[in-house]
Amino acid sequence: MNQEMQIFRETIERFAREKLAPEAEAIDRHHKIPETLMQEAAKMGLFGVPFSEEYGGSGFGWRAYYMMIEELAKVEGSLPSVIGAHTTIASNSINVSGSEEQKKAYLKPLAEGTYLGAFAITEPGAGSDAAGLRTRAEKQGEYWVLNGTKCFITNAPSAGVIVVFAANDLSKGARGGITAFIVEKDTPGLSIGKIEDKFGIRGSETSEVILEDVKVHESQILGEVGQGFKTAMRVMQNGRLSIAAGALGAAKGAFELAVNYAKERKQFGRPIADFQMIQSKIAEMKMEIYAMESMLFRTIDLLEQGKPFNMEASIIKAYASEKADWIINESMQVLGGNGYIKEYPVERMLRDARINRIFEGTSEVQRVVIAREVLR
Ligand SMILES: Cc1cc2nc3c(=O)[nH]c(=O)nc-3n(C[C@H](O)[C@H](O)[C@H](O)COP(=O)(O)OP(=O)(O)OC[C@H]3O[C@@H](n4cnc5c(N)ncnc54)[C@H](O)[C@@H]3O)c2cc1C
């Protein structure tokens, strides 16, 4: 790690420890990240880490971004989810497929943290089968008219822009039938529907986005007409690595708690860390953390070398999210009764991390991707 990255990591680690961790319990209880914390994160440039300075980013690149997500997720799950959806799938859609004008008009304020971004592909009838979406985009002169309902959209209630995926041709689906649009939040006809009450990451907003005759100019098309699904699949690779980095961070956070607890908690006249069954748990957890870390670093290497990493992103996303779940659960076991009560953060960490096996493609869908690439 070079010196600049080391300083960046220490800065994020300090922010996570001193600013985010003390708010973690309240974020979960009130379903809200304090505005002051969001502003501080924006001032530190945390909403545009991988993007170039020309477009309002910090210019640190993807490795630094994933490192940041890992550090934040060690202490809390909502903020990394908010930043993750905002950066890897919403802003990054504009980064990879946007025109120069679109990058200046939208990527810049997104990366500077002026407002949040959201990415809307999921619909009530199209989850794992995202290409089966039914939101329609109809051309009317220089405009396109969008009609449909999106669900489970992260950041939507607070977002300034939403990248909306809609069908320009229902018969073509993923092969030329889906277009991505940059839709400003105050466009007439766009409204926020039900805001979900969730099991975990309760400080991250998740809602419906309702589109009723939403008229957007053709200059708001992201990339080419019919090529939206390609944009979605491309940015989700970055998204899946972000989820893996978050899972790794949460696993490390819970592991550290368990190790410290095991050294201090005494039963039968000695620290529970003296018992071989506890030692075995600690060793197994450490082995999995090492495996997760190695897989993540190797996949980031591929990304940085400009090599394909679609299958690898699915491997690490499924592996890290499942192992993090297991590690946090084992940490709860090490803490005994204290692991199960809200005075200790492990139960919140378990709830926050559970989503990692579901969003941006479930564990089952990641296995479909892996098997497809292996068997092709
Ligand atoms: C908190 C949260 C935030 C989210 N944020 C966003 C967002 O910002 N933007 C967005 O567009 N979406 C978002 N989503 C949607 C998310 O990506 C989907 O929920 C997810 O992809 C799964 O879709 P589904 O819920 O419709 O489940 P379904 O697709 O109905 O799946 C149900 C079950 O069937 C399994 N299954 C489905 N197909 C197959 C198959 N081919 N083989 C084997 N098993 C299969 C699944 O793995 C799962 O176990 C979010 C969801 C949540 C809960």
- Out of 114, 133, 154, a domain closes at 114
> Residue 62: its pLDDT value, please?
98
Residues 214 and 238 in one domain: no
Residues 109 and 122 in one domain: no
pTM of the model: 0.98
Q: Relative to the CA of 155, which ligand 1 atom is closest?
A: 8
Residues 47 and 169 in one domain: no
Those residues with Cβ within 8 angstroms of residue 160's Cβ, 6 or more apart along the chain or in another chain: 109, 110, 114, 115, 116, 117, 184, 185
Structure confidence by residue, pLDDT tens digits, 338-363: 999 999 999 999 999 999 999 999 99
Q: Stretch 10-39: mean pLDDT, rounded?
A: 98
Ligand 1 binding pocket mutation candidate from 194, 358, 368 (most atoms within 8 A of CB): 358
Residues 80 and 140 in one domain: no
Residues 209 and 255 in one domain: no
Tokens of 342: 């809200």
Indicate the number of domains in the chain: 3
Closest CA to ligand 1's atom 30: 127
- Out of 210, 226, 242, a domain closes at 226
Inter-axis angle of helices 276-304 and 310-335, to 10 degrees? Answer: 160
Q: Stretch 138-162: mean pLDDT, rounded?
A: 98
Closest CA to ligand 1's atom 25: 127
Residues 70 and 107 in one domain: yes
- Out of 176, 205, 226, a domain closes at 226
CATH (domain of 193): 2.40.110.10
Structure confidence by residue, pLDDT tens digits, 335-344: 999 999 999 9
DSSP string, 23-71: GHHHHHHHT---HHHHHHHHHTTTTSTTS-GGGTS---HHHHHHHHHHH
106 lines ligand 1 (CB under 6 A): no
Q: Stretch 308-324: mean pLDDT, rounded?
A: 98
Residues 188 and 241 in one domain: no
Q: Is 360 one of the catalytic residues?
A: yes
121 lines ligand 1 (CB under 6 A): yes
Structure confidence by residue, pLDDT tens digits, 79-93: 999 999 999 999 999
Other CB atoms within a 10 A radius of the CB of residue 316 amount to 28
Which domain, by its residues, includes 83? 3-114
Residue of 40, 53, 360, 364 with catalytic role? 360
pLDDT band with cut points at 50, 70 and 90 for residue 2: confident
Structure confidence by residue, pLDDT tens digits, 38-61: 999 999 999 999 999 999 999 999
pLDDT band with cut points at 50, 70 and 90 for residue 134: very high
pLDDT band with cut points at 50, 70 and 90 for residue 1: confident
Go through 222-259 and write b for each residue having 16 or more CB atoms within 10 A of its CB, e for each that does not.
Answer: bbebbbbbbbbebbbbbbbbbbbbbbbbbbbbbbebbb
Q: Are 253 and 349 in contact (CB under 8 A)?
A: yes
CA of 147 from ligand 1 middle (Å) equals 22
The percent of residues in the chain predicted with pLDDT above 90, rounded, is 99
> Residue 19: its pLDDT value, please?
98
> Residue 112: its pLDDT value, please?
98
232 lines ligand 1 (CB under 6 A): no
pLDDT band with cut points at 50, 70 and 90 for residue 321: very high
Residues 218 and 243 in one domain: no
Residues 83 and 152 in one domain: no
255 lines ligand 1 (CB under 6 A): no
Closest CA to ligand 1's atom 6: 153
CATH (domain of 87): 1.10.540.10
CATH (domain of 345): 1.20.140.10
Residues 101 and 130 in one domain: no
Residues 145 and 168 in one domain: yes
> What is the 8-class DSSP label of residue 176?
T
Ligand 1 binding pocket mutation candidate from 31, 152, 202 (most atoms within 8 A of CB): 152
Query: Three-state DSSP class for 155?
Result: coil
DSSP string, 274-305: GSHHHHHHHHHHHHHHHHHHHHHHHHHHHHHT
Residue found under tokens 């450490």:
286
- How far apart are the C-alpha atoms of 321 and 181, rounded to whole Å? 30
Q: Stretch 237-254: mean pLDDT, rounded?
A: 98
Residues 76 and 129 in one domain: no
Torsion region of 373: left, alpha or beta (phi above 0 gives left; psi -120 to 50 gives alpha):
alpha
